[in-house]
Structures are given as structure tokens and as C-alpha cells.
């Protein structure tokens, strides 16, 4: 199965997917393309180093967000992508794109949704004072971090945690969970009905 990864930043989740799926000949997952809205995203460099096509799409060249998304859609189709994987992609995909790729876009979020959606999930959880936060992988719908939940794992919050130490611990779980879930999807074990996602193991 060919996947396309969208990333805006450092791309440690992308790296986990490269190492655990793309490089494993026994797993039927190939990263066909990595796309970024940020020319300097280290994710693009990680893709190049792994011999994966890395494409920067400059949002300022498009008159609207929808047209920017259309360009992303065009590139994904060129590379015959079947599943879109968001890995630290910082732009919100617009409804026409989401409709075209319904239940074929996954996102990873560093909190237990529906708690702490949005850009500062780790900081928000820490400030709120929760004792347990975690990782959520979900399908993307028209809202922000609101789509059907595929998998979650908890991460404890310690009294002396900073945003950085907590995010580091969350990352460790993300790097295990995302490749696992993508593999299950590639094996046809994940189905969606309304908001309910089932995994056949």
C-alpha cells in the first residue's frame, strides 16, 4: 500500500514510519511521497535521506486554501497514494479535500481526544493539571481533531514534567503506535462506521 506523509516540522514520526514500515520488506507499506508546506521542515530532509520523493508546496503561491489543497491532492494522486498520513502537519485541510479522502486521512495528536484538541495539546494538558494524557490516532473529518478515533494510549504526567519532558515521553509512544496502526490499515483490518472504528486483530 502506498502512503503519502504530510509533515510541517521535524518529522520524528515520519522517521519511525520509515524505519519500521518503509524499510521492512515484509511489510506492505511504502511511503510514495512526503509533502510539506514548510520548505525548511527537517521531515523533507529525512525523506530525501531515505530516497523518498520530498515535495515542498508553497502556500503563498495559491489564491485560496482550497486551491493549495488541490495541489496537494494532485501530487498525492501522481504518486498513487492510497492513505494520507498527517505527521505534525500544521495546516487544517479544507472540507473539499477531506470529502475526497474520507476515512483515508489519519492524524496523530499528542493528547487523549476529545481532551485538548488544537496546536498546544501538551501545554494545555500540563496547565490543566491532568494526571494522565496520551496519544490519539484518528481519521480526519471537517473539524479540528474531531474525527473518528482509531487508537489511543495513555501517558502519565509527572509532577516535575515540563512541556518538553512530557512531549518526549508522548513521542516515544507515538513512534510505536503510528506504525502499528498504519500497518493494520494496510492489512485491511480497520473499518469505520460513523464515529466507530473497529480493528480486527
Binding site for ligand GRF (CB under 6 A): 7, 9-13, 87-88, 108-110, 171, 174
Between 87 and 190, name the residue whose CB sits nearer to ligand GRF: 87
Q: How far is the CB of 136 from ligand GRF (least distance, A)?
A: 8
Q: How far is the CB of 44 from ligand GRF (least distance, A)?
A: 11
Q: Does residue 35 contact residue 47 with C-beta atoms inside 8 Å?
A: no
Residue 120 neighbours by CB under 8 Å, 6+ apart: none
Residue showing the smallest CB distance to ligand GRF in the complex:
88
Q: Whole-angstrom Cα distance, residue 72 to residue 97? A: 9
> Which residues are part of the catalytic machinery?
109
Q: Cα(first)–Cα(last) distance of the chain, in Å?
A: 18
Helices (H) and strands (E) in the chain, counts: 6, 9
Q: Does residue 14 contact residue 46 with C-beta atoms inside 8 Å?
A: yes
Between 85 and 187, name the residue whose CB sits nearer to ligand GRF: 85
Q: How far is the CB of 62 from ligand GRF (least distance, A)?
A: 23
Between 9 and 148, name the residue whose CB sits nearer to ligand GRF: 9
Between 72 and 86, name the residue whose CB sits nearer to ligand GRF: 86
Q: How far is the CB of 38 from ligand GRF (least distance, A)?
A: 11
Q: How far is the CB of 191 from ligand GRF (least distance, A)?
A: 24
Residue 76: in which H helix or E strand, if any?
A: helix 65-78
Strands 196-199 and 190-193: antiparallel
Q: Which residue has the cell 496547565?
A: 127
Between 72 and 112, name the residue whose CB sits nearer to ligand GRF: 112
| Residue of 151, 140, 144, 149 lying closest to 102 (CA atoms) | 140
Q: Whole-angstrom Cα distance, residue 177 to residue 180? A: 5
Amino acid at each position: 500500500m502506498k502512503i503519502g506523509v504530510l509533515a510541517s516540522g521535524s518529522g520524528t514520526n515520519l522517521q519511525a514510519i520509515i524505519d519500521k514500515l518503509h524499510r521492512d520488506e515484509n511489510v506492505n507499506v511504502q511511503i510514495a511521497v512526503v509533502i510539506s508546506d514548510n520548505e525548511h521542515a527537517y521531515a523533507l530532509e529525512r525523506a530525501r535521506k531515505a530516497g523518498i520523493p520530498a515535495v515542498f508546496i508553497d502556500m503563498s503561491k495559491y489564491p485560496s486554501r482550497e486551491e493549495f489543497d488541490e495541489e496537494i491532492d494532485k501530487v498525492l494522486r501522481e504518486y498513487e497514494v492510497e492513505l494520507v498520513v498527517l505527521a505534525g502537519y500544521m495546516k487544517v485541510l479544507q472540507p473539499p479535500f477531506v470529502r475526497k479522502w474520507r476515512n483515508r486521512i489519519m492524524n496523530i495528536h499528542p493528547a487523549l481526544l476529545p481532551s485538548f484538541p488544537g496546536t498546544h495539546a501538551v501545554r494545555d494538558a500540563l496547565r490543566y493539571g491532568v494526571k494522565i494524557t496520551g496519544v490519539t490516532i484518528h481519521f480526519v473529518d471537517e473539524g479540528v481533531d474531531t474525527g473518528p478515533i482509531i487508537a489511543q494510549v495513555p501517558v502519565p504526567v509527572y509532577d516535575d514534567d515540563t512541556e518538553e519532558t512530557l512531549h518526549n515521553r508522548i513521542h516515544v509512544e507515538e513512534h510505536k503506535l503510528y506504525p502499528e496502526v498504519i500497518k493494520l490499515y494496510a492489512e485491511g483490518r480497520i473499518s469505520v462506521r460513523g464515529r466507530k472504528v473497529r480493528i480486527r486483530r
